[in-house]
């Protein structure tokens, strides 16, 4: 164990993710997080003076991970179709890899009051702004026909959230079905067509 403030904060944050994912927001107590983190109560409250503040920090943590991965995926590609595919792959892989965080953001934070809804709206705006910048760049480069990039970006965010939320609550559709259908739908929504994705290699092949 370590007493370094940054590492203690991360320990508390990751413990809170596990507890919130298991118990939900309302059933979670700060004492549960103290016990899970193996940190003193004073150490927890030094970084997060209350359950609401900690919950909001978790949402920010997930948003930072997702935004970083999307930005890196888009920057590594050239051309509209390749960037859409890379961004979708990165985004859906992140939701799948960080399922507890995704559940906290997309399911548990809904309906918790105006403070949480404003945070969700802020995060949605960040993601939509990222997509909008990419779409406007693609239009400027001639890869995409002229369009309303702001409305399109919010529509894309809504489509992705709906799909992931359904998976978080029901287990369906399975993640391996997400990319081909979403890619085709989103590309067509901006006037592009794309060849089918190549089949993924079989394990052990």
205 residues of the chain, pLDDT tens digit each:
445 678 888 999 999 999 998 888 889 999 999 999 999 999 899 999 889 899 889 888 888 998 899 889 988 888 777 887 888 888 888 888 888 888 888 888 777 778 888 888 888 898 899 888 888 888 888 888 899 999 999 999 999 989 989 998 898 988 888 888 888 888 888 887 755 555 554 545 4
145: CATH: 1.10.357.10
- 42 and 89 share one domain: no
- 137 and 65 share one domain: yes
Distance CA 28, CA 25 (A): 5
- 82 and 63 share one domain: yes
Which range of residues forms the domain containing residue 105?
Answer: 56-189
- 61 and 135 share one domain: yes
- 60 and 140 share one domain: yes
User: What's the 3-state SS for 116-148?
Assistant: HHHHHHHHHHHHHHHHHHHHHHHHHCCCCCCCC
Cβ(62)–Cβ(101) below 8 Å: yes
Instruction: Examine residue 172 and state whether it is found in any structural domain, yes or no.
Output: yes
Instruction: Examine residue 176 and state whether it is found in any structural domain, yes or no.
Output: yes
Distance CA 170, CA 183 (A): 22
Cβ(75)–Cβ(54) below 8 Å: no
pLDDT tens-digit map of 55-64:
889 888 888 9
Cβ(12)–Cβ(37) below 8 Å: yes
Cβ(134)–Cβ(50) below 8 Å: no
Task: Determine the pLDDT at residue 205.
Answer: 46
Instruction: Single out the residue of 7, 127, 3, 4 nearest to residue 59, CA to CA.
Output: 127
7: CATH: 1.10.10.60
Q: Specify the DSSP class assigned to residue 112.
A: S
pLDDT tens-digit map of 46-56:
999 889 899 88
Two structure tokens written together for 102: 């995704």
Instruction: Examine residue 32 and state whether it is found in any structural domain, yes or no.
Output: yes
- 149 and 129 share one domain: yes
- 12 and 109 share one domain: no
- 155 and 184 share one domain: yes
> Into how many domains does the chain fold?
2
């Amino acid at each position: 164990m370590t007493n370094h403030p940054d590492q203690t904060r991360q320990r508390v944050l990751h413990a809170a993710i596990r507890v919130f994912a298991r118990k939900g927001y309302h059933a979670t107590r700060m004492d549960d997080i103290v016990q899970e983190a193996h940190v003193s109560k004073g150490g927890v409250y030094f970084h997060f003076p209350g359950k609401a503040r900690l919950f909001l920090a978790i949402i920010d943590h997930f948003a930072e991970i997702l935004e970083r991965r999307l930005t890196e995926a888009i920057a590594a590609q050239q051309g509209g179709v390749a960037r859409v595919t890379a961004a979708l792959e990165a985004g859906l892989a992140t939701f799948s890899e960080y399922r507890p965080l995704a559940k906290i953001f997309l399911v548990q934070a809904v309906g918790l009051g105006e403070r949480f809804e404003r945070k969700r709206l802020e995060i949605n705006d960040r993601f939509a702004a990222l997509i909008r910048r990419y779409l406007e760049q693609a239009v400027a480069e001639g890869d995409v026909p002229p369009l309303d990039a702001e409305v399109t970006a919010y529509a894309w965010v809504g489509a992705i959230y709906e799909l992931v939320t359904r998976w978080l609550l029901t287990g369906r559709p399975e993640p391996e079905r997400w990319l081909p259908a979403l890619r085709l739908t989103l590309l067509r929504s901006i006037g592009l067509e794309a060849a089918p994705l190549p089949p993924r290699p079989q394990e052990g092949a």
